[in-house]
Amino acid sequence: MRLERFRFRAMGSPCELQLYGDSRKALEDLAHRCTREVARLEVKYSRYREDSLATAINRSAGDENGVVVDDETAGLLDFAATAHRESGGRFDATSGVLRRVWDFRSNKLPDPEALAETRTLVGWSKIVWERPRIVLPTPGMQLDFGGFVKEYTADRVAALCREASLASGLVDLGGDLAVVGPHPDGSPWQVGIRNPRRPSEAIARIALLSGGIATSGDYERCMVVDGVRYSHLLDPRTGESFRGGPASVSVTAPLCLIAGAATTIAMLHSETESAGFLADLGLPHLVVRQDGSISGDARRASRLRREDDEIGVPAVFA
């Protein structure tokens, strides 16, 4: 069996399929089907496309008739509703509109009046969701699938591979990972966890045999204003950049979709509260604190040292 890598770009991220097969040629048809599935879901749920379902839903804001959705979308909306309820409002698929006033390339804080006005458009509890119809009652409200559709897509592609009887492989969509199956010898995939302050380096590793893993960090987009660091992590409950949480959180779960939501929610807790939330959740996790220390029960992930030849450089980054 040979490991073949199929690289492509989708959903604004570099992506890769690592698949084991007899030859690259034998895997090409499956790889094409996988990339077509990624493209299908991007077309369907991208807020940047005029012809997407996401855009159609957002255009309907203010229309009491709303939009009737298919079963796949209904499942995602049910997930968003559950995540909102269980997170105390920290996970909110309507919070994407906050990007209108938070521009992290400007190095300027939002105008307070503009932020206050935009906040009136945020709130999953304002949505009327009664299968199969969704209603955004207020003009200007938006539903943003971007916070969880990439993770869902990774799960879908991994499932497609298993349906094609592929036993060993890994799906990597911009660092959101879903395992098709372990290496042919039964060994796990070694996933490197980025150092939040030096993202090109790994600070730890996690061994993954199945399921998915996702990582959220405060390093992805940020700005410093008057000596204060503001991360891209916006709290839907306040509209403000959330400060005081961990530097990064990684979670493994049976599905990448679940792992991704858990990391998002955990990052919107204080460092102390985050650890308690993840412990109660019962999913293997790793937390990198602001001081660089590491905690969590996913640690076969011992801290990496440059001189540790046994660990080496992880092949995959979350």
Residues 154 and 35 in one domain: yes
Residue 299's pLDDT is: 58
Residue 315's pLDDT is: 53
- Burial state string for 289-318 with b = 16 or more CB within 10 A and e = fewer than 16: beeeebbbebbebebbeeeeeebeebebbb
Does residue 81 lie within any of the structural domains? yes
Residues 70 and 128 in one domain: yes
Domain that holds residue 154: 1-47+149-178
The answer to which of 73-87, 151-165, 278-292 has the lowest mean pLDDT is 278-292
Does residue 255 lie within any of the structural domains? no
Residues 83 and 21 in one domain: no
Share of the chain above pLDDT 90, in %: 85
pLDDT of 307 strictly over 90: no
Q: 147-178: per-residue pLDDT in tens?
A: 999 999 999 999 999 999 999 999 999 999 99
Does residue 5 lie within any of the structural domains? yes
- DSSP string for residues in the chain: -EEEEEEEEETTEEEEEEEEES-HHHHHHHHHHHHHHHHHHHHHH-TT-TTSHHHHHHHTTT-TT-EE--HHHHHHHHHHHHHHHHTTTSS-TTGGGGGGT--TTTT-PPPHHHHHHHHTT--GGGSEEETTEEE--STT----GGGTHHHHHHHHHHHHHHHTT--SEEEEETTEEEEEE--TTSPPEEEEEEETTEEEEEEEEEEESSSEEEEEETTSSEEEETTEEEES-B-TTTSSBP-SS-SEEEEEESSHHHHHHHHHHHHTS-HHHHHHHHHHHT--EEEE-TTS-EE-TTTT-PPP-TT-TTT---SEE-
Does residue 95 lie within any of the structural domains? yes
Q: In the listed set 121, 143, 165, which residue is the last one of a domain according to the structure?
A: 143
Residues 112 and 135 in one domain: yes
Residues 19 and 77 in one domain: no
Count of residues in the chain: 318
Residues 40 and 171 in one domain: yes
Segment 120-130 shows an average pLDDT of 97
Residues 131 and 85 in one domain: yes
Q: 25-41: per-residue pLDDT in tens?
A: 999 999 999 999 999 99
pTM (2 d.p.)? 0.93
Mean pLDDT (the chain, rounded): 92
Residues 121 and 171 in one domain: no
Residues 125 and 77 in one domain: yes
Does residue 271 lie within any of the structural domains? no
Q: In the listed set 143, 160, 191, which residue is the last one of a domain according to the structure?
A: 143
Does residue 41 lie within any of the structural domains? yes
* Number of structural domains the chain divides into: 2
Query: Cβ atoms within 10 A of the Cβ of 250, count?
Result: 28
The pLDDT-based confidence of 289 (bands split at 50, 70, 90) is very high
Residues 22 and 6 in one domain: yes
Segment 113-126 shows an average pLDDT of 97
Residues 62 and 138 in one domain: yes
Strands 13-21, 169-173: parallel, antiparallel or unpaired by DSSP?
A: antiparallel
Does residue 110 lie within any of the structural domains? yes
Q: In the listed set 178, 193, 222, which residue is the last one of a domain according to the structure?
A: 178
pLDDT of 197 strictly over 80: yes
Check which CATH number belongs to the domain holding 67 and give it: 1.10.3980.10
Does residue 115 lie within any of the structural domains? yes
Strands 189-195, 316-317: parallel, antiparallel or unpaired by DSSP?
A: parallel
Mark residue 91 as left, alpha or beta (left: phi above 0; alpha: psi -120 to 50; beta: remaining): beta
Residues 111 and 76 in one domain: yes
The residue ranking higher by pLDDT, 185 or 200, is: 185
Segment 88-98 shows an average pLDDT of 97
The residue ranking higher by pLDDT, 222 or 174, is: 174
